[in-house]
């Protein structure tokens, strides 16, 4: 089955608005510039045209765009799609969230950016494919300036629900709860040690990663070992649910692929597709099927 390739246009770089700019590693950016200078642009950027035809909003490809500017190029190859400003912003955020390499706090700040634009916790969860509880915990930690806890969450050291429990508690209660949880073997020992290290660093230099402020002494509700255990179990159940959802999605996709293979083997069905002018499909799916409707 063939697929119509998207049209690529050459558009002025100074007509493109970056809705969601990101900080960039200088070394990686320099390598990108060198690669484009020597080999050219391997993948066009994606933009959305303004309704009044005055310019474009960037959907993805900030690094490639900045590399072209660095190289003194006036135009850049781009795929132009139709999307609202809000859709462009969300697509850009989701693309950033999907990246494997990003700074610990860049990840959660993308979620904050969505919230600041008026999206509810549930809406953010749907758009980013995270749970409501996860998004709520991230927003709570952001509101309280808990950068160290956020970094621990993003790195997978602290489950978000436990991080929120720690943020709400007094420092002395946190240490006591961690000690009790360790003695009762309610949480894995290596995780308790890692969490305690982050908490101690937070008490020594403050909530923010680069802060040299006095230790945080804000009061909160009492934290117990059982509360940590409940939060940990809740996070475990959340992760188990994600695994189940992924397994179910994989089974459904396999069913769809196998069903399409049988349908496309039917000459009458293929003829019907041609007659109805619906003889194209996404290229990845066509490659997965290993067949094409039109030879």
What pLDDT is attached to residue 213? 39
Taking all residues of the chain, what is their mean pLDDT, rounded to a whole number? 77
Write out pLDDT tens, residues 209-229.
Answer: 654 333 444 445 566 667 777
What pLDDT is attached to residue 51? 77
Which residues, at least 6 apart from 292, have a Cβ–Cβ distance to it below 8 Å?
1, 2, 286
Domain ranges of the chain: 8-83, 103-241, 246-289
pLDDT along the chain (295 residues), means of 10: 66 88 77 86 87 84 90 92 77 62 60 81 78 84 84 79 82 74 73 80 71 43 68 76 83 84 83 80 73 51
Which residue matches tokens 């045209």? 49
What pLDDT is attached to residue 96? 63
The answer to whether the beta carbons of residues 200 and 190 sit under 8 Å apart is no
Q: Hey, what are 194's tokens?
A: 């890692």
Report the top-level CATH class of 8-83: alpha beta
Alpha-carbon gap, residue 18 to 206, rounded angstroms? 33
Q: pTM of this prediction?
A: 0.45
**Helix residue ranges per DSSP H, the chain:** 26-39, 62-70, 85-98, 104-116, 121-128, 132-143, 147-154, 160-168, 171-183, 189-205, 225-264, 267-275, 283-289
Quickly count: other Cβ atoms within 10 Å of residue 98's Cβ: 10
What pLDDT is attached to residue 6? 67
Alpha-carbon gap, residue 97 to 108, rounded angstroms? 9
């Amino acid at each position: 089955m063939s697929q119509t390739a998207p049209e690529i246009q050459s558009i002025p770089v100074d007509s493109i608005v970056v809705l969601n700019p990101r900080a960039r590693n200088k070394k990686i950016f320099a390598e990108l510039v060198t690669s484009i200078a020597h080999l050219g642009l391997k993948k066009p950027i994606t933009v959305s045209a303004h309704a009044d035809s005055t310019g474009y909003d960037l959907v993805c490809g900030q690094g490639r765009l900045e590399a072209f500017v660095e190289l003194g190029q006036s135009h850049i190859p781009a795929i132009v799609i139709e999307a609202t400003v809000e859709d462009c912003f969300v697509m850009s955020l989701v693309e950033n969230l999907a990246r494997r390499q990003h700074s610990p706090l860049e990840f959660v700040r993308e979620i904050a950016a969505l919230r600041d634009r008026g999206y509810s916790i549930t809406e953010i969860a749907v758009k980013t494919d995270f749970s409501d509880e996860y998004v709520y915990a991230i927003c709570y930690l952001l509101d309280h300036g808990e950068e160290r806890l956020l970094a621990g969450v993003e790195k997978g050291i602290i489950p978000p629900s436990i991080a929120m429990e720690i943020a709400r508690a007094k420092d002395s209660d946190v240490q006591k709860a961690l000690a009790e949880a360790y003695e009762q073997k309610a949480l894995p020992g290596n995780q308790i040690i890692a969490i305690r290290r982050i908490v101690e660093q937070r008490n020594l230099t403050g909530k923010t990663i680069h802060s040299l402020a006095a230790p945080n002494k804000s009061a909160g509700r009492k934290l117990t070992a059982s509360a940590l255990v409940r939060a940990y179990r809740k996070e475990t159940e959340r992760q188990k649910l994600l695994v189940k959802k992924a397994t179910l999605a994989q089974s459904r996709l396999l069913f769809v692929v196998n069903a399409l293979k049988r349908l496309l083997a039917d000459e009458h069905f293929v003829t019907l597709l041609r007659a109805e002018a619906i003889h194209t499909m996404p290229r990845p799916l066509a490659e997965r099927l290993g067949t094409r409707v039109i030879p």
